[in-house]
Chain A
Amino acid sequence: MSIDGIIFIIYLSVLLSIGLWFSRKSSASTEQYLLGGRSLGPAVTAMTMQTTAMSGFMFMGAPAMAFKYGWYAVWYAIGDAGGSIINLSVLGKRMRRMSEILGALSPIEYLEKRFESPSVRVVGSIISIVFLFGYVCAQFIAAGKAMSTLTGFTYELSLIIGISVIIIYTVAGGYLAVAYTSFVQGLIMVVGVVGIGILAYFHVGGLTGLNGALKAIDPTYLSIWGKGLAYYGQWGMVLGAILIYSIGYMGLPHVVVRHMSMKSTKTVKGAVMISALWNQFFIFVPYILGLIGIILLPTIADPEMIITELAYTLFPGIFAALLLSAIMSAVMSTADSILMQAGSILSRDVYQRFINKNASQKTMILVSRLCILMGGIVGVVVAIYEPPSVFALVVFAFGTLGNAFLVPYVSSVYYKNANYIGCLCAMIGGATTNIIWTSMALETSTGLHPFLAGLLVSILGMIIGSRFGRKPSAEVQEAFEQSRQKRFFSKEFDRNIARELAPEASNVSKFLTNDNYFTGVDTYERYVSTRN
């Protein structure tokens, strides 16, 4: 085994020890609860959130895209960076108001309540699984490549070893261990990526030097239409590239776990701030590194390895290996979290709902773990025999999500008569079109990005579908009207509204209209007497 491989093993052992040491220390105190996880402090919480979000796409897919297309690739980054802005400003206001009125906490729960049908949640969950699967495959491929560089083994063997090692490592560590190790990993990655970024940036003479050198190689690298003007005049492609992330995020199958802090605490806001700043910064860096790769590594065999190669070129070997180890384990940590999520969605929303309504918790966990195992095996097989590029997979996955969810979200607040049939047609039609368009490569013959094609079908599905089935209830129509009213608070006040209190606010409203002020004391007395 190469020296890099040995560094990787030492790295994992050290991290695992750190994680376990902290876990023991934390669980020794009876004051804090293990699964609440909020007692970790803002820095650890933020880093944990981020290392889970950091994926193989960021380190491999994005630079490869920039290497292939030049500045055109930055359209994707713009959509990615602007995603949250679009969510908040365009759709956000009405949607937020509506979800407050309906008392919904997660995007999928919102759709289920707005369209008044549990089938919306089931179909949404199944589409999310397609996305999760594509995303996991991308992580596997990235992990295999990183591991292969570290150990010198073949890609296939590296893939299997890498996946086994990291799954054992994360399962062994438990939640707290993972939280603390993520913190250390996060730090290594920040130092590493920022270091590579700065060194490489000055190496090519800043932005002016970069553009000058790109122009000398091929002026079309600077074009907004892609290298060789591949997408010249095709606004459909550009629009698709921008929209794909902005909208795709809204369909992510968030499993929102509510937290209630038992002491007055101000740490949580800090965590959100740190990760928001981090996000904006890290979205663009991998793309810029891809552009730098065109100049510094013009003959690289696999453009997905640009960051790795740059690390070995610019840093001493040991640090490069350390950085790669951190990337590799972050990638796998993302993959296994996603698999866990997919497993619980499948067991709860599909197995329990359709196959075995009275499934015990023991059965549920077995089904969930079996789904994970099967997903993992299929993922490995795909990653070995048909490895698509990490970027293509991620774009496909996000595209499917975006096509399924964009139209239902927009219609939920702008189309009063939109009902569950319309929503189901839009979700299924949009996602299916994207899958067909991508797999048959129809964009070359039509000049239409798969995302845009899916969008058109989804709109049609919503309009036609909403003509059938029952109309939205009076309650939903009332919520629709209320959400149209302008919010009157200042921006800052509005931003700080605690969304997780939406269910409480909705219950208090009902309670106040009933006008039964002190009756609760009687029910409390009854409760106490039955317990005694």
Chain B
Amino acid sequence: MSAMLVQEIEFTEEEVLHGLQQYEKQTHFHIQDVIYYPYYFFEYQVSAKSLLKFKGKAACTVDALGGRGAMVDVQPTFFERTIETGRVPQLVIAEEEAIGIAKRFIFDNASSKAKFVTMPKITEIQRNLFYRPFWLADFTLENNKQGQLIVDAISGSYHPL
């Protein structure tokens, strides 16, 4: 099995359980597994003629399962790891398709936020496929109802399935 580019887990299993339990005291949570969710990462040099010259870097990710773009705030650090435990979903969005999505996404965002008068020049600097860890948690409510949720292991944010 080859090593894959991943982001390191920041919120450990214990921290996640503690966080969830804080709001939901009566519910029983159990971490079932970790899912490595695939994203494409794109970094661009953006330059445009405004009244003053504008030059800067911009980066975004494209969800490799659903094809949705997201802006990125700071330079991410990826690590090469061999995934031994956890689940890795199959890619749905091919790289070629992701390139188009990313370019359109960054372009739309740049032209509306940075208020360019002319066409911005967007040059790709870096491109990677990386995996972001999500904890998959089971929960059992007081009335014995069961369900699942995912917890982003980097930001700690969660969403039920």
A interface vs B, CB < 8 Å?
20, 27, 30-39, 100, 103, 168, 170-172, 174-175, 178, 255, 257-265, 336, 340-341, 344, 348, 361-362, 365, 368-369, 488-490, 492-493, 496-509, 511-512, 516-525, 527-528, 530
Least CB separation from B52: chain A residue: A172
Beta-carbon contact of A171 and B115 below 8 Å: yes
A261 CA / B75 CA spacing, docked (Å): 10
Given A172-B50, A261-B154, A521-B83, are A516 and B71 neighbors across the interface (CB < 8 Å)?
Answer: no
- Given the interface pairs A30-B57, A505-B150, the reply to whether A35 lies near B71 with Cβ below 8 Å is yes
Whether the pair A490, B24 counts as a contact (CB closer than 8 A) is yes
Contact A174 B74, CB 8 Å, known A264-B11, A505-B159, A525-B2: no
The distance in angstroms between the C-alpha atoms of A30 and B160, with both chains bound, is: 36
| 7 A-B pairs (CB sep. < 8 Å) | A32-B75, A33-B57, A35-B109, A171-B115, A501-B158, A517-B87, A528-B2
**Interface mask (B45-58 → A, CB under 8 Å = 1, otherwise 0):** 01000111011111
Asked if A31 contacts B51 (CB within 8 A), the reply is no
List the B side residues contacting A263 at CB < 8 Å.
10, 73-74, 154
Q: Is the CB of B74 within 8 A of A36?
A: yes
Interface string of B113-140 (1 = CB under 8 A from A): 1111111000000000100001010000
CB-nearest residue of chain A relative to B69? A258
Distance in angstroms from B32 CB to nearest chain A CB is 10
- A303–B160 alpha-carbon span in the complex (Å): 51
Binding site for A on B (CB under 8 A): 1-2, 4, 7, 10-11, 20, 23-24, 27, 35-39, 46, 50-52, 54-59, 61, 63, 65-66, 68-77, 83, 87-92, 95, 104, 106-119, 129, 134, 136, 141, 143, 145, 148-150, 152, 154-161
A501 near B52 (CB under 8 angstroms)? no
Decide yes or no: A524 and B24 within 8 Å by CB, A33-B72, A174-B114, A498-B152 being known contacts: no
A255 to B110, CA, bound (A): 13
| Contact in complex: B36, A501 (CB < 8 Å) | no
Please report the C-alpha to C-alpha distance between residue A335 and residue B55 in the assembled complex, in whole angstroms: 25
In the complex, the answer to whether B154 meets A264 with C-beta atoms within 8 Å is yes
Cβ 8 A contact of A505, one of B61, B118, B119, B160: B160
- A336 vs B115: C-alpha distance in the bound complex, in angstroms? 9
B7, B58, B69, B88, most chain A CB atoms within 10 A: B88
Choose one: B4, B50, B113; the contact of A37 (CB below 8 Å): B113
* Inter-subunit contact A260/B119 (CB<8 Å): no
User: Is the Cβ of B54 less than 8 Å from the Cβ of A174?
Assistant: yes
**Are B159 and A262 within 8 A (Cβ)?**
no
Q: Which residues of A contact B73 (CB under 8 A)?
A: 32-33, 36-39, 259-263, 265
CB-defined contacts of A336 to chain B, threshold 8 Å: 115
Instruction: Determine whether the beta carbon of B66 is less than 8 Å from that of A507.
Output: yes
Let me know if A508 and B136 touch, CB within 8 A. Answer: yes
CB contact under 8 A between A175 and B114, given known A523-B91, A527-B95: yes
For B19, give the chain A residue with the smallest CB separation: A496
- Residues in B neighbouring A506, C-beta threshold 8 A: 66
Q: What is the distance, in angstroms, from A104's C-beta to the closest C-beta of chain B?
A: 11
- Once the chains bind, are A497 and B160 in contact (CB under 8 Å)? yes
Contact A100 B119 (CB under 8 A): no
Which of B69, B109, B117 neighbours the largest number of chain A CB atoms within 10 Å of its CB?
B109
Structural contact, B71 and A36, CB atoms closer than 8 A? yes
How long is the Cα–Cα vector from A517 to B36 in the complex, in angstroms? 11
Min CB distance B126 to A, Å, is 12
Chain A residues with CB under 8 A of B106: 35
Q: Is the interface of A mostly helix, strand, loop or mixed?
A: helix
Q: When the two chains form their complex, are residues B134 and A504 in contact, meaning their CB atoms are under 8 A apart?
A: yes
Kindly state the separation between the CA atoms of A103 and B68 in the bound complex, as whole angstroms: 11
CB contact under 8 A between A523 and B90, given known A171-B117, A498-B152, A504-B150: yes
Contact A174 B50 (CB under 8 A): yes
Q: Is B152 a contact of A521 with CB atoms below 8 Å?
A: no
Chain A residues within 8 Å of B72, by CB: 33, 36, 259-260, 262
Cα of A498 to Cα of B154 in the assembled complex, Å: 13
The 9 A-B pairs at the shortest CB distance, nearest first, are namely A520-B88, A498-B157, A34-B56, A38-B73, A501-B159, A258-B70, A262-B76, A493-B23, A172-B51
**CB–CB A262/B88 < 8 A:** no
How far, in angstroms, from A170 to B51 measured CA to CA in the complex? Answer: 10
Q: Which residues of A contact B91 (CB under 8 A)?
A: 520, 523-524, 527
With A and B bound together, what is the CA distance between A38 and B76 in angstroms? Answer: 14
Complex Cα spacing A511 to B74, Å: 29
A258 to B69 CA separation, bound complex (whole angstroms): 7
Determine if B57 and A34 form an interchain contact, defined as CB atoms under 8 angstroms apart.
Answer: yes
Task: Name which residue of chain B comes closest to A167, CB basis.
Answer: B115
From B24, B37, B89, B155, give the contact of A264 (CB < 8 A): B155
User: Given the complex of chains A and B, what is the CA–CA distance between A281 and B114 in angstroms?
Assistant: 30
- In the bound complex, what is the Cα–Cα distance between A498 and B112 (angstroms)? 25
Nearest B residue (CB) for A516: B90
Taking CB as reference atom, which chain A residue is nearest B37?
A: A504
- Cβ–Cβ contact B115 & A504, under 8 A: no
Q: How far is the CA of A365 from the CA of B110 in the complex (A)?
A: 11
Q: Which residues of B contact A259 (CB under 8 A)?
A: 70-73
In the assembled complex, the Cα of A361 lies from the Cα of B157 at a distance in Å of 35
Residues of B with C-beta under 8 A to A175: 113-115
Chain A contacts of B55 at CB under 8 A?
27
> Considering the chains assembled together, what is the distance between the CA atoms of A100 and B77 in angstroms?
30
